[in-house]
Chain A
Amino acid sequence: MTQLHYRFPPASAYALNRWLFRLKSDAAARDQYLRDPDVAMQEAGLSNDEQKALRAGDRDALVGLGAHPYLVFMVELRLRMERGTASFEYF
C-alpha cells in the first residue's frame, strides 16, 4: 500500500501543526505573522527547518516535517487572501 495522503500527525510536529492551525483560523496570529514572521514563528516554538519551510511556502517540506496537508493548503489560501495577492469573487 502506498502511503496515505492524510496520515496520523506525529507528536513531533505538534508545535508546527498548532501554529498552522492558528494561522488558518486566528486573524490575530495571521496579522502577527505577516508583520514579523521570524518573531511569530520563534514564539510558536518552530524549529529552524520548520521556519524555513513555512517562510518558503514549501508544501512538500512542511508535509515531510509532519504538517497536516489540509492545514498547509488553507494557510496558503488565507495568507493569499490577507496579502491581497489574488482577487476573489464572493458569493
Chain B
Amino acid sequence: MLVGAFACAHTPQLLIRPETEDRELVLRVHAALGRVKQRLTALRPDVIAIVAGDHVEGFFLDAVPALGVYVGADCAGTFGPYRYRFPIHEPVARAVVEQGIERGFDLLYTQERALDYAFFVPLHFTMPAPPVPIVPLHVNVYLPPQPTPARCYQWGQALGEILGARPERVVLMASGGMSHFPGTDRYASPDFEFDRRMLETLAQGEGRELAKITGDELDKTGNVELRTWITVLGAAGPARANLYCYEPSWHHGNAVVEWLL
C-alpha cells in the first residue's frame, strides 16, 4: 500500500556546500528534510520507492532509457568523497518491472548500474533508522528527447496502482527540482515565479494540471527535473501538497513537499 508521497530537492550544494552558498539557507533546507525524516519514521515504510532524474551518471549517450527500474540486490554510487550503497527491495522492484511492462510501459531494468547522487542526497538526509530498502526509479530528464510530462503522469498512475496493491508499506519520493539551469547561461536566473505558481497548484490538489505542461516549457523554466514530481503526482492524484520549504538560492528553487494522501 502507498503510505506516503514526498518531493525533495537534491542539489549537490546541500551535501557539499561551497563558499558561494548561503549557509543559513542550506540549513533551512536541511531542517525541512529533517521533517521528512520524522514523517518517514512515523509512517514506518517497508520500502522507499524513489523517482530521480539521472545526471548522466548511470546512463550516458551509449544507451538512453526514458524510464527504468533498478532491480539488483543492491545499488551503489559515489559523489565526491561519499560512497553509498542501498539494498533494493527486490519483490517490489520486480513487481514494478513486470506489472509495468504488462501495462504497456516499455521499461529498462538494470541489475548493475551506477546510482546517481540524485537518489543519494534526499536519502542521506531523510532515511529513517533503522534504514529501509529502496526501489530506484529512473526518469530521463537531461538527455533529449525526454519522456513527456503526460507520459510521466501516466507512469505515476500505474505506479500508484502497482504499489497500492502491494502488501508492503511503500513511500514514494520524487527527487529533484525546482527551477535551475545547471551549465547554461541562465544559471544565475531561475524562474521562481513559475515555481511558486506550481506550488500553489499543488497546494490545491490540482497536480494533474502539471501533466499538461509541455517538455519545452519545462526546459524554458529550468524545470526538466519536474518530471520526477509529475511521476509521483500520477500516484498521489488529487492529494494536496503540504509545503515544508521553498528556499530560492541564487541559482536554485529548493523545495520540499509532502502530499497528504
Stretch at the interface among B15-23, B197-205, B252-260: B15-23
Q: Tell me which residues from 153 to 193 in chain B have a Cβ below 8 Å from any Cβ of chain A.
A: 181-187
- Asked if A83 CB lies within 8 Å of chain B CBs, one says no
> CA of A63 to CA of B185 in the docked complex: distance in angstroms?
10
Size of interface on A: residues with Cβ below 8 Å to B: 33
- Asked if B220 CB lies within 8 Å of chain A CBs, one says yes
Q: Tell me which residues from 1 to 24 in chain B have a Cβ below 8 Å from any Cβ of chain A.
A: 12, 14-19, 23
> CA of A73 to CA of B17 in the docked complex: distance in angstroms?
16
Question: C-beta contact mask, B127-143 vs A, less than 8 Å → 1, else 0?
Answer: 00000000000000011
> CA of A6 to CA of B143 in the docked complex: distance in angstroms?
7
Closest to A2 in B: B220
Contact B16 A90 (CB under 8 A): yes
B contact residues, range: 35 or more
Closest to B224 in A: A6
Question: C-beta contact mask, A18-39 vs B, less than 8 Å → 1, else 0?
Answer: 1001001100000000000000
Number of A-B residue pairs with CB-CB distance less than 8 Å in the complex they form: 89
Q: With A4-B219, A87-B19, A88-B16 in contact, do A9 and B61 touch (Cβ < 8 Å)? A: yes
Which residues of B have CB within 8 Å of A72?
Answer: 183
Which residues of B have CB within 8 Å of A2?
Answer: 220
Contact B185 A60 (CB under 8 A): yes
- Asked if B145 CB lies within 8 Å of chain A CBs, one says yes
Q: Pick the contact of A88: B17, B124, B143, B181 (CB < 8 A).
A: B17
Residues of A whose CB lies within 8 Å of any CB of B are 1-2, 4-9, 14, 17-18, 21, 24-25, 59-60, 63, 68-74, 77-78, 81, 86-91
